[in-house]
Amino acid sequence: MKRTNVIRVLYAREQAEYLEILADRCAALWNAVQYRCRQLFLKGEPVPSYAKLCSEFKECSAYKALPSDIGQEIIKKARKAWDSFFALLRLYRKGELENRPRLPGYWKDRKTGKRTAKVIPVKSPKSYRLTARTLSLTLPADLRTKNGHRLVLQTRGVLRFSGTPKTLELKCDQVKKRWYARQVVEVSKSVRSLKPEKHAAADLGARILVALAVEGMDQQLLFSGREVWKDFLYWTKRIAEEQSRLNRSGRRTSRRLRQLYRMRALRLKHALAALAARVARTLKRHRVTVLHVEDLTHVRDEMDFGPKNLLVHNFWAFRMVRNLITQACERAGIRVAADGTRDSLTCAVCGSRVRRFARHKALCRHCGRTWHADANAAAYMLKVSGSSKGHGPEAGPGKPLRYRWNKHRWQSRAESAASRSGPKAAQAA
């Protein structure tokens, strides 16, 4: 499986000029390839393949101005853009897409007409060397100096994944005004040891982000999204204030507005990534081998809460939560199966219909048990997961264990109390 290392690139003023020159030349080659493909497509002729484009642009000045590995990767990215366009076009003709896809565009600013420096891709690890401290790149012949033919840059960050290095991309973040290196690494899959099957189920929601039920545990785990939702609302308010200020001045966007959008997205993803890591650690500690989740694709289509409902349409990133949990479980050697069946109105113990007398409470009149609705849904999903052992809390539902987000990690109430009493105990000692 492939993973990506993201690391920040530090540079001096002269090195920044080299990066800008390389990025501008990459944009020039990209625009030349896209112009050629667009003209052929508009004439009704087939778009050339990657091999034909390489042979055609081999003598082009824009291609010669770059190292071969960078030039070939630019052409490959341009051809992949057309592959994606044709795939979307087929879906549109089948009626699966509402809007017709647009042709791959150019790397340029429409207002000024100048090329925009977006990315510097490197095809092979032969042309670069990335460590936790430095990044070296091969320079074109006209940019090489007496000191050498490589550009050596300082880096800051941690290489999280180790494996076989593949391609690398240097990309400029226009909001932060920084350069980042993204390295693709081929990582070997975790080998699962032969051990008894043990199942768990995760119910994804908006207010309770994840309700987790584990085989053999009478207590379900609930990850409350209340604090994450409050933080999301705070940054949404800041965004609205900035948009109001821009409207009064007759402007539509600004760098400050883009920074606020970026900050809101990063803080949300940080909380969800920490949640996924906590779920994976919990499952690994209980020796779970299979996690069942529900496929929530098109789940919003049946919801009618109004277009301005931020909780459902903006905050609830269920696909991101599912992907992060899947990746964390894969690293822990746990298989994720998207075959769960969610039903919060059926009792997970006796199978009778329950009554929702409150938003988060469910009462089973047959067995007299009172459930948390999301905990009941997770336990029911675990019960009907298909295992021959028969899941679900046989002794009845216990009080679920709640986890809350404290801007840094997910903690239960007991862990929070212990962390608060720790310094006092240390002072008393």
> What pLDDT is recorded for position 417?
66
pLDDT digits (tens, 9 = 90+) for 55-104: 999 999 999 999 999 999 999 999 999 999 999 999 999 998 889 999 99
Position 23 confidence tier, pLDDT thresholds 50, 70, 90? very high
- Residue 31 token pair: 């625009």
> What pLDDT is recorded for position 106?
93
- Residue 11 token pair: 């540079």
> What pLDDT is recorded for position 103?
94
> What pLDDT is recorded for position 245?
95
Q: For residue 227, count other CB atoms closer than 10 A to its CB.
A: 14
Mean pLDDT (the chain, rounded): 85
Residues near 110 by Cβ (< 8 Å), separated by ≥ 6?
A: none
- Specify burial of residue 283 (Cβ count, 10 A radius: 0-12, 13-18, 19+): buried
Distances (CA, A) of 342 to 182, 205, 222, 304, 376: 38, 11, 16, 20, 9
> What pLDDT is recorded for position 307?
56
> What pLDDT is recorded for position 41?
95
Arithmetic mean of pLDDT, 229-241: 95
> What pLDDT is recorded for position 424?
52
> Which of 127, 139, 134, 138 lies closest to 165 in space, CA to CA?
127
pLDDT digits (tens, 9 = 90+) for 348-406: 777 777 777 776 777 777 776 777 888 888 888 888 875 544 444 444 456 788 999 99
> What pLDDT is recorded for position 114?
87
Whether residue 425 has pLDDT greater than 50: no
> Does 360 or 27 have the greater pLDDT score?
27
Q: What is the pTM of this model?
A: 0.79
Position 421 confidence tier, pLDDT thresholds 50, 70, 90? low
Percent of the chain having pLDDT more than 70?
Answer: 87
Give the domain ranges of the chain. 2-186, 199-416
pLDDT digits (tens, 9 = 90+) for 157-201: 999 888 899 999 999 988 888 999 999 999 887 655 556 788 999
Whether residue 116 has pLDDT greater than 70: yes
Q: For residue 91, count other CB atoms closer than 10 A to its CB.
A: 11
> What pLDDT is recorded for position 429?
38
Position 216 confidence tier, pLDDT thresholds 50, 70, 90? confident
Position 304 confidence tier, pLDDT thresholds 50, 70, 90? low
Minimum mean pLDDT range among 180-184, 194-198, 227-231, 232-236:
194-198
Minimum mean pLDDT range among 21-30, 126-135, 209-218, 382-391:
382-391
Whether residue 120 has pLDDT greater than 80: yes
Using DSSP's 3-state secondary structure scheme, residue 151 falls into: strand
pLDDT digits (tens, 9 = 90+) for 335-344: 998 876 777 6
DSSP state string for 305-318: S-TT-HIIIII--H
pLDDT digits (tens, 9 = 90+) for 266-290: 999 999 999 999 999 999 999 899 9
> What pLDDT is recorded for position 428?
44
- Backbone phi and psi for residue 58, each to the nearest 5 degrees, phi listed first: -65, -35
Minimum mean pLDDT range among 100-114, 146-160, 250-264:
146-160
Q: Which helix (H) or strand (E) holds 196?
A: none
